[in-house]
Amino acid sequence: MLSRVAERVYWMGRYLERAESTARLVNAYTTQVMDLPIGVEPGWKHLVDITGANRLFDESYSRYDERSTIGFLVADPDHAGSIMSSLAMARENVRTTRDVLPTEAWEHANELYLYARANVEKAIGRKHRFFFLKNVIFRCQQIAGLLAGTMSHGPAHEFVCIGRNLERADMTTRIVDSAVFILMPRKAAPGEYDSILWANALKSLSAYQMYRQNVRNRVVAEEVVRFLLKDPQFPRAVCHTLAASAASLATFRRNAAALRSLAGVQARVADADVRTMSLEGLHRLIDEVQSDLGDVHDQIRATWFTLDQPAQLQVQAQSA
């Protein structure tokens, strides 16, 4: 399998998951803003804080109002993390790897992109936003299910899974950290609506029902953090996504460095006593996990995605 093909299907998995996760996040946050009394919600800037793209936002927008924030996260072509940019890149990666993917994958990815392009402006206003976001989520899940059910579970499929699971882990940590960030300034006097905030974090990941089934407790910060970071069975929990990534990596040769890097993240998450950890401690833990996930990505890229570069450089030198 060519390294450039492996890289493209890996990023296809990441971009599809990024589009779906961003749609989930915007959908759940809009619902929270509508449910809370005026003045209680953390404001629209909080959505950009989660993505870590504040500098890019400030370069193009003057204020963090609803229209600017939603436009940035959903429709902005210059923001690589927006839904439209993620779908465009996912479509391009599917188009250039059609020889290793089911034909239907290209058809669905193309249809999803065309649907989003035709309707994305409607999503900036609240009237059509929920319908648009739910359609994006459903169609991303449709492609994921298609690949799981019709694609041979060989190296290409494993790279898709690795990309998807690392992206899920990253988004889950960002959503948990966003709630911690809001609560830190008022930790001595918990707000009346903190439970709504944590319920929204669960709903952002479609985790609310599974949390209630497995934890069987009211929505409290320590239990939510433990569930989203350490639950081994919930597909969007960091523990589960890391284990699934490790299982995929184990199918490849020359995997020692990537598995070692991944094992470090798993150990950090497993050893963390989130029930007794302070909010500052949780914030540091999540920063460390996000940094570790970046190291895992770097190991994967160095091991499998740069193999063609010497040959490419040689061809460029000969043609120069």
- How do residues 1-33 score in pLDDT, each as one tens digit? 688 999 999 999 999 999 999 999 888 888 877
Note whether residue 314 is domain-resident: no
* 162 in the same domain as 234: yes
* 65 in the same domain as 197: no
Note whether residue 313 is domain-resident: no
Note whether residue 318 is domain-resident: no
Note whether residue 215 is domain-resident: yes
Note whether residue 312 is domain-resident: no
Domain end call among 151, 180, 205 = 151
* 161 in the same domain as 301: yes
* 287 in the same domain as 160: yes
Note whether residue 310 is domain-resident: no
Note whether residue 200 is domain-resident: yes
* 228 in the same domain as 87: no
The model's pTM is 0.89
* 275 in the same domain as 162: yes
How many domains is the chain partitioned into structurally? 2
Q: Is the pLDDT of residue 225 over 70?
A: yes
Q: Is the pLDDT of residue 313 over 60?
A: no
Cα 185 to Cα 178, 182, 245, 274, 278, distances in angstroms:
13, 7, 35, 19, 12
* 183 in the same domain as 144: no
* 240 in the same domain as 139: no
Domain with 223 in it: 153-305
Q: Is the pLDDT of residue 311 over 60?
A: no
Per residue in 270-279, pLDDT (tens digit) is 999 988 888 8
What percent of the chain is predicted at pLDDT more than 70? 89
Note whether residue 47 is domain-resident: yes
* 249 in the same domain as 220: yes
Alpha helix segments (H runs only) across 36-189: 45-51, 54-60, 66-70, 83-95, 103-124, 126-150, 155-183
Segment 77-96 shows an average pLDDT of 95
What is the identity of the amino acid at 119? N
* 205 in the same domain as 130: no
Domain end call among 106, 128, 151 = 151
* CA dihedral sign of residues 38, 126, 90, 164: positive
Per residue in 139-180, pLDDT (tens digit) is 999 999 999 999 999 999 999 999 999 999 999 998 888 778
Domain end call among 103, 123, 151 = 151
The closest alpha carbon to 158, from 264, 255, 292, 18, belongs to 255
Q: Is the pLDDT of residue 128 over 50?
A: yes
* 166 in the same domain as 126: no
* 162 in the same domain as 140: no
